[in-house]
Chain A
Amino acid sequence: MNNSMFKRFCIGLLAWVIAFVIFFPIFWMVLTGFKTETAAIADPSLIFSPTLDSYIEVQQRADYFKFAWNSVVISFGSTILALLIAIPAAYSMAFLPTRRTKGTLLWMLSTKMLPPVGVLVPIYLLFRDTGLLDTKLGLVIVYTLMNLPIVVWMLYTFFKDLPRDILEAGRMDGASTLQEVVYLLLPLTLPGIASTGLLSVILSWNEAFWSLNLTSSQAAPLTAYIASFSSPEGLFWAKLSAASTMAIAPILVFGWLTQKQMVRGLTFGAVK
């Protein structure tokens, strides 16, 4: 075996190890979901007789589909809202920059460095007074605000990659700003917009801090659904695992289906 083959082998091995380490908890969770409660807390074992009991019990205790629907509405709703706000913002930053544009972008990103819990109380009080507690609209608003910096930043980098000449040619051809955006900017940066949207959906889907604190029953998404199984009566590993598996399944499938788009979009600027 020569040197470069050995190097490739090592890198390959390392990749597999990392992939396994990352994947193992998910694998174990799925497995535990099919165990009985006693088997779940017994010595870890790969050999057991699988059962759907936990799934049935979980479904009896809480309506999975209601939570799932909430998750869909909230994550897609907030993503659409974030894109609607971010596209014009990123357009003006990319094509009509001022001296303060760079600073504004940095400031927006810096808001992500603040721990969310720091603003929990004011937001909670605001939501209580405006009746937004435990509403889907409330979570849509919070998630939109939460993802907006990343969405604007990503769109900004995609838009900046678009040659200005093309938009100027459009302007010479008689396009209004809106037409410029609809006919030229959006079609040409669609891969970027799509991957930005996908990322926003995934981040919203997986968000737990705000959903746990701002919802109770009506608007609770799947993250709250999972949490509800770590109840005061004690931990039920099998049920918790079954619930978690059901909660992450849709986004896992969604992520898998859009994987190509995601990778293409996220590496769009770097490799062009």
Chain B
Amino acid sequence: MATLQLKNIVKQFGDIQVIKGVDLDVNDKEFVVFVGPSGCGKSTLLRIIAGLENATSGDITIDGRRINDIGPAERGLAMVFQSYALYPHMTVEDNMGFSLRLARVPKAERRDKVMAAARVLQLEELLERKPKALSGGQRQRVAIGRAIVRNPSVFLFDEPLSNLDAALRVQMRIELARLHDELNATMIYVTHDQIEAMTMADKIVVLQKGEVEQVGSPMELYHHPRNRFVAGFIGSPTMNFLPVEFQDSTHEGVQVTLPGGKTCRVPVDGTGVSVATSLELGIRPEHLNLQEDGPLSGRIQVIERLGGATSLYVQMDTGMVTVIADGDVAHKVGDVVRFGFEPVRGHLFRDDGLALTSLHQHPLTGIDRQSNRAPVEGSHS
């Protein structure tokens, strides 16, 4: 059982505010991912939770208890570092058992706990080795094992997969998700990789310049980004942005003029927007479809064939857009293509970056990673 709250956390280094008043609730057994570009303060926020940095102001509470002034070890948290930070002079077993040794746990009990963690992570064979005799993936598992042994109320991960190669990263991602289910623990995970965020999180916290841009389930962020930053950050390839002009607003949505002169009614709430205002239309590459009579057109500049899908980089008068088309598409570089989209897939952003609220809630926004799982018979959850 562990819930964690951040209330108006501010962190200042000298005159520079790196965290500008963050509020956040982390529920029990939740997998929360902090994501954002480098320098957005996500790691600092994690270190504040860990107790490695002090917050300049604000409260951190675990299960309602304020822990600002409690040392890192007494907070009952465990952290997995980006560099793994294994103790190079100790064997795997000693690495994993170090916290227990400091807590003066008897040797036999210590061994049992280390063995139990080693079994979960398939490290039994490696217990006698030193870290330098391990591969990157194994070191990573030892670092996680060291955290598990402490039986923490909350696990903290600071970009744990960024030092691994691509294949191993996918494997560890799956392993971490499995571990989360198995340990039934609350986890906070920092990454700059939005794919890690999308695949593992129950709840994603998007940070930029020390401020929370949006908190929500992966599907919520994908389908209903609150602002242009989140829209551009979540999803790969990045969302396309086109300049459009506001025409009118009804209960069915906002009518805008697209580049090229055609119009389109996007089902969002346009209350308060005045006629002829410039807006930005956001539309994801995978939601653009090649159509003979599509409202948009441009000349293909680059084609990337991935087999299953083809990325077309299309030059429009207003800029470059990316279109994800079928893998067997026959177009060539230089062809002029027409394309369009379902209006419900479109997003409209005001010039201050905020999105106009969608009139329809996407059916999957409430789903988190846990609800993707089929209920297991006889399971305790």
Contacts and interface: CB of A to CB of B under 8 A. Distances in A.
Interface of A: 163, 165-166, 168-175, 179, 183-184, 187-188
Nearest to A180: B102
8 contacts: A165-B81, A168-B52, A169-B79, A169-B87, A171-B51, A173-B146, A179-B102, A184-B87
A158 to B, nearest CB: 14
B83 A174 contact: no
A171 B51 CA distance: 9
B102 A166 contact: no
Query: Which of A168, A172, A183: most chain B CB closer than 10 A?
Result: A172
B309 interface: no
Nearest to A163: B83
B102 A174 contact: yes
B141 interface: no
B83 to A, nearest CB: 5
Interface stretch (B20-28, B70-78, B214-222, B324-332): B70-78
Given A169-B87, A174-B73, 15 more contacts: A163-B83, A165-B81, A168-B52, A169-B81, A169-B146, A171-B71, A172-B50, A172-B51, A172-B52, A172-B72, A172-B79, A173-B102, A173-B150, A174-B99, A183-B102
A172 B77 CA distance: 8
Name the interface size band of chain B: 20 to 34
B85 A175 contact: no
B89 interface: yes
A179 B101 CA distance: 11
Interface string B144-179: 001000100000000000000000000000000000
Contact of B73 (A166, A172, A183): A172
Contact of B89 (A163, A170, A188): A188
Interface in B101-126: 102-103
A175 B88 contact: no
A192 to B, nearest CB: 14
Interface string B47-90: 00011100000000000000000011110011101110111110
B102 A175 contact: yes
Contacts of A183: 98, 102
Contact of A173 (B52, B83, B98): B98
A168 B103 CA distance: 17
A184 B51 CA distance: 19
Nearest to A168: B52
Nearest to A99: B14
B76 to A, nearest CB: 10
Nearest to B79: A172
Nearest to A171: B72
B188 to A, nearest CB: 14
A184 B95 CA distance: 11
Contacts of B99: 172-174
Contacts of A166: 85-88
Nearest to A188: B89
A173 B85 contact: no
Nearest to A166: B85
Contacts of B83: 163, 165
Nearest to B47: A168
A173 B86 CA distance: 12
Contacts of A188: 87-89
Contacts of A179: 102
A175 B87 contact: no
A172 B78 contact: yes
A179 B89 CA distance: 15
Contacts of B50: 172
Contacts of B52: 168, 171-172
A187 B89 contact: yes
Contacts of B71: 171
B88 to A, nearest CB: 7
Nearest to A175: B102
A174 B150 CA distance: 10
A166 B90 CA distance: 12
A171 B156 CA distance: 14
B81 A175 contact: no
A171 B79 CA distance: 10
A183 B85 CA distance: 14
A163 B73 contact: no
Contact of B98 (A163, A165, A170, A187): A170
Contacts of B102: 173-175, 179, 183
Contacts of B150: 173
A184 B88 CA distance: 9
Contacts of A165: 81-83, 85
Contacts of A172: 50-52, 72-73, 77-79, 99
A110 B81 CA distance: 39
Question: Sorted from nearest, which 8 A-B pairs have the closest CB atoms?
Answer: A174-B73, A165-B85, A173-B99, A169-B85, A174-B102, A165-B81, A172-B79, A187-B89
A169 B79 CA distance: 7
A175 B89 contact: no
B149 to A, nearest CB: 9
B89 to A, nearest CB: 5
Nearest to A173: B99
Nearest to B84: A165
A260 B10 CA distance: 51
Contacts of A169: 79, 81, 85-87, 146
Contacts of A173: 73, 98-99, 102, 146, 150
A97 to B, nearest CB: 13
Contact of B85 (A163, A174, A187): A163
Nearest to B103: A174
Query: Which of B52, B71, B82, B150: most chain A CB closer than 10 A?
Result: B52
Given A173-B99, A174-B99, A168 B81 contact: yes
A171 B73 contact: yes
Nearest to A164: B85
Contacts of A187: 89
